[in-house]
Structure 1
Amino acid sequence: MTPRYPRHKRATLAAATAVAAGALISTGLATSASAQTPAGTAAKPLAAAPAALSAAARTSLIQKAQADAAATAQQIGLGAKEKLIVKDVVKDADGTVHTRYERTYAGLPVLGGDLVVHTAKSGKTEGVTRATKATIKVASLKPQITAAKAAQQAVSAARTLGSAKSTANGARKVIWAGSGKPVLAYETIVGGLQDDGTPNQLHVITDAATGKKLFQYQGIENATGTGKTLYSGTVSLSTTQSGSSYNLTDATRGGHKTYNLARKTSGKGTLVSNSTNVFGTGTASTSSSDQTAAADAAYGAQETWDFYKNTFGRSGIKNDGVGAYSRVHYGSNYVNAFWDDSCFCMTYGDGSANKDPLTSLDVAGHEMSHGVTANTAGLDYSGESGGLNEATSDIMGTGVEFYANNASDPGDYLIGEKININGDGTPLRYMDKPSKDGNSADSWSSSVGNLDVHYSSGVANHFFYLLSEGSGAKTINGVSYDSPTSDGSKVTGIGRDKALQIWYRALTTYFTSTTDYADARSGTLKAAADLYGSGSTEYNTVAAAWSAVNVS
């Protein structure tokens, strides 16, 4: 597994993420296919698109699925020691139900054993999408090494990656099925701090028989990344009045709250409040009491909620109508932002010299989309699945930016272009040609899975751009792009709206924790067939866009 950023000291972070010099070449104004649909407009309902479910209806479906779990396990061929635990349910407009399950074996969690059962309106099982095709069976449930030894090795692994003050919370027995033959293992979660100040949550999987490290991934999913905001101008925010003051609680979107950590690195901080219903100044400040970063974070959460609700019918990150919360002014000179599923929250640093908070619209959408991924496909944050995890956040963060249709931050296919993380005004990542950042992959190769997940994500980012806008040179919202293909082919895009629908359906219906790029091609083709028909223009373009990034 590679860490979120290469393990350099903070002083070299800019170099680690620096983009290559040079601009994209414009050959004149070209209108994107997706630009024909106004940003912020809900997509036309599709027969195989998810139906909007009330909280009561969703709960009822989950309860029924759990009540039938034993029968379902037997029907799909699981062994007598295996049980299913319902994680999520998606119901299509045509009545098809997709139930996502976690699995246990002899009472132990099976990591990499997740699966999705697809059931027609008639009740007939139409298929199963599995994270692993291996039969779950282990010879013995008695470990040969102690939990203490596994924990000790996990702490050593964290220190090797640059984590300071590393401590393990103990090791639990699991069945590891994420790769190879399923085995009895320990999972240890190591706390502490990563070398850039991000909280550590390193999950280390250790073979309980041999003591060999099998896998590791970082559980803190961090990235670079009204009020009078710094990045989005003056915007409307949904706030709450409490006595004679106002605070950043959005009761209309699941009760999302925005807190100020005031340079601390733990706790919730203080709920942002003011004597007037105006937050921020619209200008940069190095003060930890400044409310501008909070205004940006609250606006980003608001737009992300609305994007998912109006584009996919999803009510909140878990699709249960409950809002997460945001924390701003984390640490000092912290050049990052992260999603943490354990606190169900987003956290934003203030950047170099505490003057460039990482609270721009696409970063906010990126972080909360990590939460959506964690509560749907659960893509492992390592290797190719980790790249797909990161790309999903870039794709959805881009969708949020276009959806918001904000004149101060128009939609584009650049990631983090507002936050100046490189110190020279260049974006963090480019979706049309990912290699422009000097590190990311434009197309797939057998070594892509060895890259940092922010760089292996380039393959899927490039695919999404090609699917949306097509290859070649064009200008969209004033930004010039010139997207190549690995095979020299010409791709004509189907528009961003359709591309988003296809990616979201694949994520929530066909991706699992171990999905790699070949699986992603298969999943998105199935999604395109569901939504637009096998052999449709949309289906054929999905195939062409994957081929254009060397995924076949």
Structure 2
Amino acid sequence: MSRKNALAAAVAAALALGTVTLAATRSTAAASTSSSARPGAGFRAMSADARGAAMRTADREAEALAKSLGFGTDEKLVAKDVLVDTDGARHVRYDRTYRALAVIGGDLVVHYGANGRLTGADQAHRGALTVAGTTPKLSASDASDAAVKHAKHVKNARTETSDGSTLVVYAVGKVPVLAYRSTVTGAGEAGPASREAVIVDASSGAPLDQYELHQGVTGTGTGITVGQVSIETTQSGSSYTLTDALHGGTVVYDSYNSSQSTPKQNAKAFTKSTNTWGNGTASSRESAAVDASYGLAKTWDFYKEAFNRSGIRNDGKGAPAYVHVDTSLLNAFYDDDCFCMFFGDGSSQNSNTPVTSLDVAGHEMSHGVTAATANLNYSGESGGLNEATSDIFGTMVEFYANNAGDPGDYYIGEKLNMSGGYMRRMDNPAADGNSLSCYSSSCTDHGGW
């Protein structure tokens, strides 16, 4: 958790430090219309085979479910994701189609109890859809021209092809309408190739909606320490990356064991064709990335909710994060020179458990906040306060996240398989044999590190 070096000992001002180094999701569920209280038991880790079986079950249930929810015969549900709580409750996200056309605003999440009974559903549009017809008055080319005209989020908008508009049912309003969804490209917040979706009425070409496409989608990840969670990703064509647009465009990279002195040397973005990441073990390089992505999102959300702070520098920009740094690195660190965070894979001291736990992510991102606000140089007493502040806020993030797989406590790094069960203790700092439980004027370095 030092900024560039393996961290050393001693603390200041009744705040815990130690000698051992260490280092949101936000759901996009449909608007709630009828749901039951959820116990918050936390998600169960599922293997690829188990998840595949759960998806097949969800697809088999789709027809009967659609009827029970009062949907029409022209509508179908397609399972998109399944999460299972540790208590056996199940949550299935469905996409909705109307005469084989995608329904924008028709998605829903259905909840089942551990006994398999339906307990509730969160729906964006309740009841059957009724559309006058599925034959458009406008051609796809006309719709593309209208989309370019109505684009708001990019300048000098253009479409890649004249017929690149897709017929859909737009059900966001009270009355569903036949529409075209087009993708336009131009200069915008994401750079010169920013992308925007434009929805136009298929009869008149009138604009119905516009939104930027660098916004994230919700994927499913299984981390080593946080278990199965929802994480924000970004879709580009048929590929997904661990880019969290909802939290400032935070990107998690695989360092591919680049050395600690040059951790970005071999780095590559995590990219894949499906939006399911990790398997809960170190055998998948994605698992540590899930931990980091989830932890950084939760830290962002904590600072936003508690202090109305938008990111490390309060400018809405996310900091890049790199996992799998170096070999046998039992450390993580923040570097303000590159506005980056780096996470090692652990060592034989902790059974090679990646140093990407929730309190570690909160700790490292908090180093960035300190660098942006307090200017606590990393030496002497100010260095002690710097490190202690990160421990304190990392602990608060853990309580804030309320993750059943890693509940809030006063231990630092308790999920990292350390021989003593933790790296540091906030309730009794001196218990680690190196930290101080209170400030002492006898410290030769004034309580620093």
TM-score for the superposition, normalised by structure 2: 0.50
Higher helix share goes to which structure?
A: 1
Q: Which has the higher contact order (CA 8 A, sep 6+)?
A: 2
Higher strand share goes to which structure?
A: 2
Computing the radius of gyration from Cα coordinates, the structure with the larger value is: 2
